[in-house]
Amino acid sequence: MAFPERMRKASFEKSSRIVLGLDLKPDQSENLLRKALKIIDEVKDDVCGIKVNLHLIIPLGFRELKAIVDRAHDFGLLSIADLKLNDISSTNIIATDILWGIGFDAVICNPFVGFEEALGPCIENAHLIGKGVITLTYMSHRGAVEGYGLDVLMEGKPIKMYDLFIERAIKWNVDGLIVGATNPALIKYVKGRVKTIPIFSPGVFVQGGDPKEAVRAGSDYLIVARAIIESNDVKKSAKEIKNITW
């Protein structure tokens, strides 16, 4: 089963649109692996996936990351590696081969690097084994406009950088797009363009995005990190967010 179908299945089974961002800060007073596993145990019924970024990928080893991914899989949750991969194909393939070996179901990539001798072989290899590639379209931070909102020329016509990335997502047959929840109007615009390609939206709560507005605009999944992992009651927070967005 391809990644988008498995993602939809997990979402339906958990009645949740929430992908938990395990953006844990290094803390000498508590073991990162133990803390990550504890959080997964607490939210397992209220999220449909986890996203692991450099907060854990850099300090943890292969075995520790695999333990996190395996724990997520034990509960029917999908796992996404957030590297914003952006390199030549040989490097991308080596990186994703390692991620697939750990057990990750998908990886987030930057489409700026292009297709030929860049993301193309990575996407093709991922699809051969049922893995997913999610590409950036518009991030959730305030400075996103400085890059994703730039004017560029496409076939002699001025368009926005995010329009170029939308076109690439469609042409490359990617498995998802990142569009920040802080811009519901853009989510609606992107959804109208990509139709069935799922939209993953970070930036709710702490960065100012309204989860309900993002879902109404067309977000399929909400990437939620600090509003859950920094909560005094992780399980309660995950359940509350799940209930207001399903």
Burial grade of 244 (CB within 10 A; 0-12, 13-18, 19 or more):
exposed
DSSP 3-state of 74: helix
Alpha helix positions (H), 15-88 = 32-43, 54-57, 62-74
Q: Which residues lie across from 81 on neighbouring strands?
A: 52, 107
Is the backbone of residue 196 left (phi > 0), alpha (psi -120 to 50) or beta? Answer: alpha
The answer to whether residues 163 and 232 touch, using CB atoms and an 8 Å cutoff, is no
Is the backbone of residue 86 left (phi > 0), alpha (psi -120 to 50) or beta? Answer: beta
From residue 115, alpha-carbon distances to 33, 120, 123, 173 in Å are 35, 4, 9, 11
Distance CA 191, CA 175 (A): 14
Task: Give me the active site residues, please.
Answer: 84
Q: Residue 212 has which token pair?
A: 């309900």
Q: Residue 23 has which token pair?
A: 């953006």
From residue 176, alpha-carbon distances to 116, 134, 170, 199 in Å are 20, 4, 10, 6
